[in-house]
Amino acid sequence: MTKLLGDLEPVYVVGAGWHRYQRLSQVGYVDLGLTAVRGALDDAGLAWGDVDESFIGTGHLGMAVGRPMLKHLGALGKPLVHVENASASGSAAFRLGCVHVAAGISDVALVLGVDKPRSIYRAPTGTHGLADDAIVPFTHFSLLSGAYTAASGVTDEDLAQIAVKNHRNGSLNPNAHRQQERTLEEVLGGRRTAGSLTSLQCCPVGEGAAAVIVASAGAIARLGIDPAKAIRVASSATVTETTTSSDQEVTREVIARALHEAQTPPSEVDVFELHDAFTIEEAQYVEASGIAPPGKYVPMLKEGAFDIGGQCAVSTSGGLLAMGHPIGPTGVGQIGEIALQLRGSAGPRQHPGARVGLAHMVGLGAVGYAHVLRKD
């Protein structure tokens, strides 16, 4: 039988750092990445020499970008590897870092997500006809929005409220790409991308970086890391699509596994960072997680259940809609946000009493990741 992360040695997130997510600029990726790494090391109170191994999630940057970045901190001979799983690249890098620390291969692992936007290259498959009906994400999620509103009786305005909430959260986050509160009228009035979707209901894909430090209990003691900063990674789950599964079904499966492994019912989740690249996704995935019953997401949203201070604060960071989605950093930044929330260090966007967090990403609708973090 295979083991779960929780069957191995306990793993903790002990530091988090960011470079603000933003529009493509003249700043090099090396500066983006190093800003996040230095922030995470400072936050953990660690030096570069304390890190045993580095996992770098990136989707856009091309070959071997870790070397010229990390050697600025000192070329110490420590292992590094680059990881890519489309939108879930950072989540994949985080899982690998957790597994290596939990297995004892490393005591302290750096997980870094860094990217600058670039037209996405995917090698041609050399097979024909399998994807003739493929549609672009805008259209796909617009169609899903239409199906959801038709089935549940909610309105386009209801779904647009998701963007209002997440932009409000993003306005409280100095690392967010979008830091401006938006009214319902502004969200609905923006440029239409497809069907009922407007631009503020679609995430910005810019540049940025996020880093977290993962450590064992032994390293926390040995290196004198503040135990109050150590947030336990209670579970790690990843699945890919099955023959017929949708993003929502991948999400249902992977979150169910992560919650089961963490022995956590959905009702215990205090903060939830999820893959809200489009507003409809938040509705679908909150229902897929079990935090809202099927069809109940919108009524709960209207009651404030997903606000900071509500039943379960969803996307306190601003989510992909306001925090942004620079690909490599996204999944790492989610973990960092949850760590801050569970420490009680999230400043003006702090969700009171947060003790359990859930992070979720989907890569290209095919690869799902979910992690549960818990304040011991």
C-alpha closest to that of 227 among 215, 237, 235, 239: 215
Say which amino acid occupies 82. Answer: H
Q: How far is the CB of 308 from its own copies (least distance, A)?
A: 33
Contact pick of 8, 217, 223, 256 for its own copies (by CB under 8 A): 8
SS3 270: coil
Q: Which of residues 35-74 bind its own copies (CB under 8 A)?
A: 52, 59-65, 67-69, 71-72, 74
* Using rule CB under 8 A, residue 256 touches its own copies: no
Q: How far is the CB of 167 from its own copies (least distance, A)?
A: 28
Q: Which of residues 342-361 bind its own copies (CB under 8 A)?
A: none
> Which residues are CB-neighbours of 26 under 8 A, at least 6 positions away?
none
Nearer to its own copies, 123 or 150 (CB): 123
C-alpha triplet 93, 120, 112: angle, nearest 5°: 20
Q: How far is the CB of 57 from its own copies (least distance, A)?
A: 10
Q: How far is the CB of 75 from its own copies (least distance, A)?
A: 5
Nearer to its own copies, 130 or 150 (CB): 130
Say which amino acid occupies 203. Answer: C
C-alpha closest to that of 211 among 93, 376, 342, 351: 93
- Please list the residues that pair with 12 across neighbouring strands: 215, 232
* Using rule CB under 8 A, residue 137 touches its own copies: no
303/214 Cα distance (integer angstroms) = 36
Q: Which of residues 71-90 bind its own copies (CB under 8 A)?
A: 71-72, 74-86
* Using rule CB under 8 A, residue 150 touches its own copies: no
* Using rule CB under 8 A, residue 5 touches its own copies: yes
- For the chain, the farthest-separated pair of C-alpha atoms sits apart, in whole angstroms, at 59
* Using rule CB under 8 A, residue 120 touches its own copies: yes
Nearer to its own copies, 96 or 211 (CB): 96
> Is residue 239 within a helix (H) or strand (E), and if so which, with residue range?
strand 231-240
| Token pair 């601003």: residue | 318
Number of shown-chain residues binding its own copies (CB under 8 A): 73
178/166 Cα distance (integer angstroms) = 10
| Token pair 């922030």: residue | 39
Nearer to its own copies, 156 or 241 (CB): 241
Task: With beta carbons less than 8 A apart as the criterion, state whether 37 and 54 touch.
Answer: no
Q: What pairing do the DSSP bridges indicate for beta strands 231-240 and 11-22?
A: antiparallel
* Using rule CB under 8 A, residue 102 touches its own copies: yes
Contact pick of 107, 158, 261, 281 for its own copies (by CB under 8 A): 107
Q: How far is the CB of 190 from its own copies (least distance, A)?
A: 28
Contact pick of 15, 18, 97, 106 for its own copies (by CB under 8 A): 106
Site stretch for its own copies (CB under 8 A), options 101-109, 156-164, 272-280, 291-299: 101-109
Residues in the chain: 376
Site stretch for its own copies (CB under 8 A), options 103-111, 167-175, 223-231, 307-315: 103-111
58/144 Cα distance (integer angstroms) = 28
The two three-digit tokens of residue 120, written as one number: 């996405």
* Using rule CB under 8 A, residue 240 touches its own copies: yes
